[in-house]
Amino acid sequence: MSPAVPIVFAYLFVLALASMLKTSWTDPGILPRNLDKIAQPENQSREDTYGYPYSSMSDYSILPSPKEVMIKGMLVRLKYCETCCIYRPPRASHCRQCNNCVGRDMLIVYKTENEDHHCIWLNNCVGKRNYKSFFTFVICCFLLCCLAAAFSLYQVIFTALDTGSFQIALQREPVSFAVALFCLILLLPVSCLTGYHCFLVMRGVTTHEQLRSNLAANPFEEHPFDFGNPLSNMIHVLCRPRNKSYIGRRKFVEEIYEIDTSNVNNPLTSLSH
């Protein structure tokens, strides 16, 4: 076997690992809060788990109505986020896991902030600032599975042809057979994920748009963020420079612990101790 095979495999492995870490540790495009904060009624001040101003339908008599902007002759609605107190830009969404509005910029003629999805395996949102590294990670995983399965099977088949018995080949190359079987099983979900994101990139849509909008019923429906052909969509999604982060990191925030104060004013509880 050529020495180029392990070299290529090692390169893809390092690239996949680096892309995974970069996707997991990069700000996906968290949007700043309180840009469109509305008046707070008296004696109804509330905060969420993270200490940010919180509002609900019961707190306000009138909530801001959605705004509409025109993009390529099509109306796009801007929804108001009650948690972040902002009008979400086109294609942005609020992530419940991160408790932030996240976006990814994919359009030149109008600034958009678009979140693709939240990845539980990477423990981070995939948005405008880390989608390219996520896409690289998915492609590398697919190529690694193909490469490992192909050359492991080649080793088993070559040994079987050399010895004239497939059973003897399995006895001599049990590790190669196990790796080939494992990679072939893993290749099915990885190839589906790779093909799905290639389809999204070529269409210029995101996971949220494809699953939650009319694009789910008609994947080829015209939308205002399409640049006309798959190549142009791929260039605008994968080849543009990364935007600056809105987060001004200054220090690490210590973890907030919740203290149970339900029994603080109970005299019986105090005497029992």
The encoded tokens of residue 158 equal 């070559």
The encoded tokens of residue 235 equal 């260039």
Say how far apart CA 15 and CA 25 lie, in whole Å.
15
Angle at 119 (CA atoms; ends 218, 229), nearest 5 degrees: 40
The encoded tokens of residue 146 equal 């193909």
Which candidate in 81, 95, 119, 145 is catalytic?
119
| Residue 80 per-residue DSSP state | E
Say how far apart CA 34 and CA 54 lie, in whole Å.
11
119 is catalytic: yes
Task: Give the burial string for 7-31 (b: 16+ CB within 10 Å, else e).
Answer: eeeeebbebbeebbebbbebbbbbb
Share of the chain above pLDDT 70, in %: 72
If one counts every other C-beta atom within 10 angstroms of the C-beta of residue 61, the result is 7
- pTM for this one? 0.74
pLDDT recorded at residue 12: 95
pLDDT(178) > 90: yes
Q: Where are the beta strands (DSSP E) in the chain?
A: 67-71, 74-78, 80-81, 86-87, 93-95, 100-102, 117-119, 124-126
Say how far apart CA 62 and CA 1 lie, in whole Å.
71
Place of tokens 């972040």: 84
| CB 122 within 8 Å of CB 129 | no
The encoded tokens of residue 183 equal 């990679």
Share of the chain above pLDDT 90, in %: 26
Least confident of 1-5, 36-40, 68-72, 238-242: 36-40
pLDDT(240) > 60: yes
Angle at 83 (CA atoms; ends 257, 60), nearest 5 degrees: 120
